Structure 1
Amino acid sequence: MPALAPLLDQAAEAFGFPPYIIRLVTALLITYPTGFLFLRLPADQPCLKHLFSVGIALLLHIEVLGDWLGLVHLSLAALSTYVLAYTVHSRLMPQMVMLLTMLHLSLTHIARMDETSDYAKADFSGAQMVLVIKLTSFAFNVHDGRRKEQELNAYQKQYRIMKMPSLLEFMGYTFFFGGFLVGPAFEYNDYKQFCNMEIFREKVFRPSGMRASLSCLGQSAVAIGLLVTLGPVFPIHYCLSEEYYQASFLARFFYLQIASVLARMKYYFVWKLSESVCILTGLAFNGYDAQGNPRWCVDRVSNVRIMDYELAQSPRALMDSWNIGTNVWLRNYVYLRLTKPGEKDTFVATLATFTSSAIWHGFYAGYYLTFASGALTTTLARTMRRTFRALAVNLETQQPRAIKPAYDLAGWFLTQMTINHVVAPFQLLTLSASWSTWRANYFVVHLSMIALYLWLVYAGGARWVRRRLTPADVEVRKNLPASKPAPSGDAVEATQETLMGTHPASAVTP
């Protein structure tokens, strides 16, 4: 019988929070001081590090989370993947792992939709979502280690696994205490090089990440502070109340904006707290900058870049900053696995990416309302950028015009206003709640997007803008492609912007 979990349940009841939320937050808070214990382990003993991570994960699951059900499910998924990767040498092995882990996750998502079930009370789906990313990428990396080098792209060469790890090393990677609950997800080779000190280029030297870690911890503290103080004042479910319907349109619209921003704070809190542990232990180390200073979490072990997201002026910038690990996973282990190098987007690859993203998130109708809205907003954003950018930037010299600051401000405003409206169903979940909230706002964002797209594409709006361009800009603009082909291994344009991340919808921006 766990000792701490019942006490946490009593605290949750006293404060009116769901018990699993209090347990999860407590477990995450414990991981930070645990990071200092990890730093005391001998640098040249990777096996101790693996044992430490597995032991802490077990302790948190049993004593804090009190979640035997989740522990069994996560352990079985990990062990099944290891056995398949070890014994099956077929080229279909990674697809088998993908199918089994996604099916397993789907069953968990379906089970937790029954709010009276044990799955809903424990809700280990978040940890399982992170685990699916790790297990499927591991399986593909093992398979890449058995392929010819000339068949691999640069990313696959970097992360292929040439020698099957021991079960202990694999479980240490799977249950690394700094990220197994909410992420960030990371590659096996990064974990291996972190544990054997290769990542630091010197076997006995680990640069201090204390300042960067405290910075992340501070961001997490600000997020939870805003969530605790303002969250109860602007709850998203107030949008379903009679008082909300009786308010003026502007009051309803801007209330939804504020509530959506505050709803993001819970993601910022848990992600930045977990990220701070990864920095503290050294896992998030990412080389040195030009001045020789260590870099942390840049393009590697991170879930979100808060300021980049909140100040984004376009859907691409916004989505590049959100749920980064999921973006990398979908790009490298779904989309590019179905797209040959140098080829344009294929229907099969796009459909598979969308399906994987949708199943990974779950089956609430609200998710799919956001996905569908994302397709519309991304399409419009591309059209608007192609149409209006020449008014703000000289396309030939790339020099900004006098109107550029206003253009950037408009881009930020439209992006944020739209994303806050479009992602509300992610919090409301059900079809009736999501539809009711959008209807209370007269579907203003969706109708505006449709009307603007029709004007630009079919009613002469684009021609009206072109008449205001210089001849040189018109000539340069003629040579711009309508959309870029999918590159060989570095990015995926439309699919990333529309389908990836916890908020997969892109927003409107010029």
Structure 2
Amino acid sequence: VIMPGEHTFNSGSVLLQPLADMVGVGVDKINFVGCLAVSVPYALFYSRVLGKASERTRQIYPLFIGLCYCCFCFGSATKHLLANSLISYALMSFAPAKHIHWLIFTFSMSYLTWVHFYRWNYISEYTIDITGPFMVCVQRLTTLAFSLHDGLVKKEEELSPLQKREAIKRVPDLLPFLSYIFHFQSILTGPLSYFTDYINLTRGTHVKKNENGELPDASAEALVKLVKAGFFIGIIAFLEPRFPPSAINRTDMNPIQWTIYFYFIMSFQRVPYYFAWYFADAIYNLSGFGFNGYDAETGEAKWDLATNVHAWKVESAQSMKETLDAWNVGTMGWLRRVAFDRAPKKYRVLSTYLLSAWWHGIFMGYYLTFLTAALFTIGGQGILMAYTAYPFLVLHWQPSIALYQRFYFIGHLMALFCAVALPYILPPPRQEKKVQEGVKGDENENMKKTE
């Protein structure tokens, strides 16, 4: 299949073009927001009306709507989602169980790279196109493949508690497989959900009763998330246009003014993600999905299983780790399952960041962002989110390097110093550490005796 040009990524419906012209944004964005909006009644219908329907019905309904969304937003490019999914399913069904996880991982990521390459070739500006859903599908396909490998090949004692929970003992039938890949609740935006959780939803066993024998209702939690999404789309509409990324190149400000301006510009670039992820989380909750047990202290139901971002934690984070723990949680979970937990301990951090860059695309800005993040993680230094993420925004090499030159590469130099030179200049006090460990061991032993 040859992808001839830009229309391959932007062949969605133009039905809403008059509305897009009136608002002054691209029709791709109007289509996207429109699909999110109509998902609210679809989700309510799924949980309230189809709540006691057959498992088959509860799998067909989200699959059908999800495919309609893809055709409406992306047109003929939907064929690439179907091709990737069906070929991966064939590999699951016929390839040796010992190798299915790496076969599907290699195939899906290679297909995604091919799609990224054509996007890089034909699209000069950011648009909402097929690459977003493709990236979501790759996460689901590879996670499912690793879970299937864990269930078919590995012994139970070789698995972590998380891997045991998500292990799958047989290849799923085609309908639940496609429903999992294409369900409307998150085909456009993510986040990643796991096959075992999704199947429990379609079977009506996802939510557990409380101590009073009652099933909790997610409506209030979903409403809060919809309000947050509304707040962020308000920022997109009224404030973000005043801080365009191109303004970073202004030279008529003193360093303090420019730094403040740069901070706000980079902060506003995260807002569209906040909007989309909070909205998707609310849709999941309205569908009855996202239950994550009960709070040990309050006894209240937790509906954060599908939560993909904690905006306040991201904005108030004091370190790179705190930022990553609160940002794109689903992708962090995917990277952990297919990279961090599987790679040799020595290369876990580097392999995780490299996979993240590869998954995002082939623009040099992605690799500069994630390799910089890996450098700072290894170096143990907290840095400003804006410094690391700027190449991710502009995507190209020259403007990324120009910004870092303006900072004199101070962040890179500090991290390199901490990672390479500092351990030789100030080696850790090994003897004191051993003594402290001995004291702790004695304290633990005394505690055991006391008990």
Range of TM-score over shorter length: 0.7 to 0.9
Matched, 1:142 2:148: yes
Shift of 1:111: 0.9
Mapped partners of 1:378, 1:431: distance in 2: 22
| Alignment partner, residue 317 of structure 1 | 322
Mapped partners of 1:121, 1:319: distance in 2: 25
Shift of 1:274: 0.4
Shift of 1:351: 4.9
Q: Percent identity?
A: 28
Cα distance change of structure 1 residues 273 and 121 upon mapping to structure 2, 3 Å threshold: closer
Matched, 1:370 2:369: yes
Matches within 5 A, 1:193-342: 193-201=200-208, 206-240=215-249, 244-290=250-296, 291-297=298-304, 300-339=305-344
| Alignment partner, residue 12 of structure 1 | 20
Shift of 1:219: 1.4
Q: Structure 1 regions of 5+ residues with no counterpart?
A: 340-344, 383-413, 467-473, 481-510
Q: TM-score normalized by structure 2?
A: 0.85
| Alignment partner, residue 171 of structure 1 | 178
**Quick check: 1:53–1:175 contact (8 Å CA) kept in 2?**
yes
Matched, 1:26 2:34: yes
Cα distance change of structure 1 residues 103 and 451 upon mapping to structure 2, 3 Å threshold: closer
| Alignment partner, residue 448 of structure 2 | none
Shift of 1:444: 5.0
Matched, 1:162 2:169: yes
**Quick check: 1:216–1:275 contact (8 Å CA) kept in 2?**
yes
Size of the aligned set, in residue pairs, is: 420
Shift of 1:477: 9.8
Cα distance change of structure 1 residues 102 and 25 upon mapping to structure 2, 3 Å threshold: same
Deviations 1:432-458 (A, max 9, x none): 122223334444544565678899667
Deviations 1:418-472 (A, max 9, x none): 2112211111111112222333444454456567889966777x99xx9xxxxxx
**Quick check: 2:67–2:184 contact (8 Å CA) kept in 1?**
no
Between 1:437-446 and 1:150-159, the stretch displaced more is 437-446
Cα distance change of structure 1 residues 106 and 183 upon mapping to structure 2, 3 Å threshold: same
Cα distance change of structure 1 residues 355 and 441 upon mapping to structure 2, 3 Å threshold: closer
Q: Which among 395, 417, 427 is matched to residue 429 of structure 1? A: 395
Cα distance change of structure 1 residues 351 and 445 upon mapping to structure 2, 3 Å threshold: closer
Cα distance change of structure 1 residues 357 and 448 upon mapping to structure 2, 3 Å threshold: closer
Deviations 1:183-223 (A, max 9, x none): 11111000011111222236x97421011111111111111
Shift of 1:232: 0.7
| Alignment partner, residue 419 of structure 1 | 385
Shift of 1:262: 0.4
Cα distance change of structure 1 residues 110 and 424 upon mapping to structure 2, 3 Å threshold: same
SS where residue 328 of structure 1 aligns? helix
SS where residue 327 of structure 1 aligns? helix
User: What is the one-letter code of the residue matched to 1:33?
Assistant: P
User: What is the one-letter code of the residue matched to 2:225?
Assistant: C
Cα distance change of structure 1 residues 9 and 121 upon mapping to structure 2, 3 Å threshold: farther
User: What is the one-letter code of the residue matched to 1:253?
Assistant: T
Q: Structure 2 regions of 5+ residues with no counterpart?
A: 1-11, 438-451
CA RMSD of aligned residues (A): 2.9
Cα distance change of structure 1 residues 378 and 327 upon mapping to structure 2, 3 Å threshold: same
